[in-house]
Amino acid sequence: MAGPAKPASLLALDDPRWQAFVHSHPKALIFHRPEWARAVSSSYKWQAFVLAQIGNDGSIDAGIPVIGLRDLRRRERWVSLPFSDLCPPLLSDRTSASGFARALEQARLDAGVVSFEVRGALAGFSHRQHREAVLHTTALTHDADELFARCHPSQVRRNIRRAEREQLHVRELADRSDFVEVFNRLHAQTRRRQGMPVQPHRFFVSLWEHLFADEMRESPARLVLVDAPGRPAIAGALLLAGTRTLTYKYGASDPACWRLRPNHLLFAYALRSACEAGFEWFDWGRSDLEDRGLRDFKSGWAASEADLVHTTLGAQETPTAAGDEQGAAMQTARALLRHSPVFACRAAGELFYRFAA
């Protein structure tokens, strides 16, 4: 039987030890970075902190960012992290994965928190893991042309050539308005078309303030936009940098311009620039299991597909029951939101994401 785990200490997001640990860890994603948790928590006025095991020398051996929020019954729960597809614990070589997982469970119990959802797998808790969706990842190379040679010839390469013939233009963010106004508006229209709740305007303001608008450090965020002749911003994508992985987080496009293939030109630019910047992986984000079209699109970019697994500690109901109930509610909501004005989708997002993020 395993011995008692070293306890997990609660640290502030801006603790310099956590910042140093994240920036040096090869598996750190954007979701582990303090800027992301700060942007998300400040938008919804949630509490954000880090749970970490501290070594004998005072440095961090393992850690995970956490946001505390309340469910509809006003019970406190922890999530690592809302609006984050994948955020497993970061471990050093001298740390036991199962030991840190036990420390997280004990921290939850000590704090009297009803549940702790980790967006990733936890060693020793396979009975509490549930398959959420799938995740696509493209292994990058230093030679972008070699990467594109591995992409699907008709679904990807031919459509890139089509977009180039249409004289589309790819550019990166120019100013605050490009993100907070232009991309936000395009994103809201896309979410409405998909029947999904829309984040409030202040969410994009918070992302801008914490991810972009700091001249004292290199920004982890990039906004890529595609313009057509006479029609600016027909497609866009928010790309977020981890240590070795560039993550595609939010995308949006104008369906009236899909025939021009702007998304293909956008992702061709994103992948090429990621290769040139020395990233090793391009993370395409989650796809729902039933969304076969999106899964095929991402797979066409030489991406491998893997199950996206989340772990829930201390849930009162089984993950399957909770997932079935939430899934049925979401299907009903999506049907309504597709026929609602954008402001109604934002109102739905204001309520839904505060409790179910």
Find out whether 283 and 251 touch, Cβ atoms under 8 Å.
Answer: no
- Which H or E run contains 100? helix 97-111
Length of the chain: 357
**For every one of its 357 residues, what pLDDT tens digit does the chain have, with 9 covering 90 and above?**
455 679 999 999 999 999 999 999 999 999 999 999 999 999 999 999 999 999 999 999 999 999 999 877 788 999 999 999 999 999 999 899 999 999 999 999 999 999 999 999 999 998 899 888 999 999 999 999 999 999 999 999 999 999 999 999 999 998 999 999 999 999 999 998 988 888 999 999 999 999 997 765 689 999 999 999 999 999 999 999 999 999 999 999 999 999 999 999 999 999 999 999 999 999 999 999 999 999 999 999 999 999 999 999 997 554 444 445 455 555 666 667 776 777 777 777 777 777 666
Which residues make Cβ contacts (< 8 Å) with residue 155, sequence separation at least 6? 296, 297, 300
Using CB atoms within 10 A of its CB, is residue 347 exposed (0-12), middle (13-18) or buried (19+)? middle
Structural tokens at position 353: 């994401």
